[in-house]
Amino acid sequence: MDKLLIEGGARLSGEIAISGAKNAALPILCAALLTREPVTFTNVPQLKDIGTLLKLIGQMGVKVAREGDTVTLDASALDNPVAPYEMVKTMRASILVLGPLVARCGEARVSLPGGCAIGARPVDQHIKGLQAMGAQVTVEHGYVHAQVPRLRGARLFTDMVTVTGTENLMMAACLADGETIIENAAREPEVVDLANCLVAMGARISGAGTDVIRIRGVESLSGTTHRIMPDRIETGTYLCAAAATGGEIRLSGTSSCYLDSVVDKLMDAGCDIVSERDAIRLKAPERLTSVSIRTAPYPAFPTDMQAQFMAINAVAGGTAVIRETIFENRFMHAVELQRLGADIRIDGNTAVVQGVAQLQGATVMATDLRASASLVIAGLVAEGETTIERIYHLDRGYEHLEEKLAALGARVRRLA
């Protein structure tokens, strides 16, 4: 199984391009299920999760053509609205096919995702929303089975802010009879990117980016071409890597407008950050100052950046308090960071990180995607060699990771 070997100590410097956003690409590719016409997507990152989704919709009868960062999907012959367990278990976001399939085919059978490394992650809100739109939903033999001749518009309210829940219901509502109002909707930029794509396909959506989204259903949607937005979490991760190593970098093809809360915290930690039109520059101080964070739905601090901030706080001057409010079990990286010499105490959903002068390289294990990113950052600043095991987690979300890190001067190598 692949491992990543990092020789710590290099200050990151130089420029790299940020890839398209995984969490925007996944729902947006599913939007192609809503139409009989071909849809073309550009800036699609080459990631394991994207490959999994394309395979999943390919086996539904959708024609998939992929060349570089361009993907064309033709769902005219879609005839098997089923997402089997074997695929869903490797990627929870497969649940995003549920809404489009019910809306387009009148039926869907999608495996329940089950738990994952960061918590229970149920999909009850997705189901509740479809039921409110008139779908008959049963959960049998581990599968969600939804049926309805045509969904009807409804007023939907989710118990908590859910990103993929909002996306699933917004897609389903596009072909429903009448108006749907999603209250307590997620405001993440990826929801807005999906809405922009759907509108280009002929959907009638207003309010995306606020907590009330209105969708007036139409009879059918058409094809379009859509460019996926930049990955704000990849952007934030490289900013943290540069910050931790005392580096100076420029990230192109991205924008600070998607990550105000992260940029603010990095500035509080002592970094100089300059936002350009399609790029961000960061210059780090000799040593960072600790910054406390509390994760919450957008526009507050993203849970997907929590692990990376634990890594930078591990080597900053001072004490930071990190509160995770989205997922119940998202501190798995803390014990691995401790193996590298970090001083972290966990109490429930709170971690207290006392910065140390130096981390030391060791062998550590990646437990989930963003946890692995925090280990990479820690490995880059640790003295000596760090080996990260199970890096398939990283391949799910970071395109060309070794190449990008090497371009910034890091000493990294993949071991088979």
Question: Does residue 323 interact with ligand UD1 by CB under 6 A?
Answer: no
CB of 74 or CB of 368, closer to ligand UD1: 368
394: its two tokens: 């990283």
CB of 15 or CB of 183, closer to ligand UD1: 183
Decide: 26 and 93 in contact? Cβ < 8 Å: yes
Question: Does residue 165 interact with ligand UD1 by CB under 6 A?
Answer: yes
167: its two tokens: 């996306």
Q: Could you say which of 125, 235, 255, 367 contacts ligand UD1 (CB under 6 A)?
A: 125
Among residues 116, 197, 240, 257, the one annotated as catalytic is 116
For the CB of residue 237, give the shortest distance to ligand UD1 in the complex, in Å.
13
For the chain, the first-to-last Cα distance in angstroms comes to: 6
Q: Could you say which of 58, 114, 115, 122 contacts ligand UD1 (CB under 6 A)?
A: 122
| Torsion sign across C-alpha atoms 24, 336, 120, 212 | negative
CB of 74 or CB of 304, closer to ligand UD1: 304
x/- mask, ligand UD1, residues 176-205, rule CB under 6 A, reads --------------x---------------
Backbone angles phi, psi at 55, to 5 degrees: -65, -45
For the CB of residue 370, give the shortest distance to ligand UD1 in the complex, in Å.
8
Q: Choose the binding region for ligand UD1 from 113-121, 242-250, 267-275, 405-413 (rule: CB under 6 A).
A: 113-121
- 116 catalytically annotated: yes
Q: Could you say which of 10, 47, 326, 375 contacts ligand UD1 (CB under 6 A)?
A: 326
For the CB of residue 161, give the shortest distance to ligand UD1 in the complex, in Å.
6
205: its two tokens: 């959506």
Question: Does residue 162 interact with ligand UD1 by CB under 6 A?
Answer: yes
Q: Choose the binding region for ligand UD1 from 159-167, 177-185, 270-278, 347-355 (rule: CB under 6 A).
A: 159-167
Of how many residues is the chain composed?
Answer: 416
Q: Choose the binding region for ligand UD1 from 163-171, 174-182, 255-263, 280-288 (rule: CB under 6 A).
A: 163-171
List b or e across 19-50, with b for residues whose CB sees 16 or more CB atoms inside 10 angstroms: bbbbbbbbbbbbbbbbbebbbbbebbbebbbb
Question: Does residue 229 interact with ligand UD1 by CB under 6 A?
Answer: no
Question: Does residue 124 interact with ligand UD1 by CB under 6 A?
Answer: yes
342: its two tokens: 């970090």
For the CB of residue 129, give the shortest distance to ligand UD1 in the complex, in Å.
9
Question: Does residue 126 interact with ligand UD1 by CB under 6 A?
Answer: yes
Q: Report the 10 Å Cβ neighbour count for 339.
A: 17
Q: Could you say which of 164, 235, 237, 254 contacts ligand UD1 (CB under 6 A)?
A: 164
Q: Show the DSSP H helices in 32-182 as ranges.
A: 48-58, 85-88, 98-105, 124-132, 163-174
Question: Does residue 87 interact with ligand UD1 by CB under 6 A?
Answer: no
For residue 284, what is the DSSP state? -
x/- mask, ligand UD1, residues 21-40, rule CB under 6 A, reads --x--x--------------
Q: How far apart are CA 105 and CA 319, in angstroms?
A: 54
For the CB of residue 200, give the shortest distance to ligand UD1 in the complex, in Å.
20
Strand ranges inside 37-147, DSSP E: 39-42, 63-67, 70-74, 82-83, 107-111, 136-140, 143-147
Residue type, 389: E
150: its two tokens: 């045509």
107 CB-contact burial (10 Å; exposed 0-12 / middle 13-18 / buried 19+): middle
The residue ranges that bind ligand UD1 (CB under 6 A) are 23, 26, 92-93, 119-126, 160, 162-165, 190, 303-304, 326-327
Catalytic positions: 116
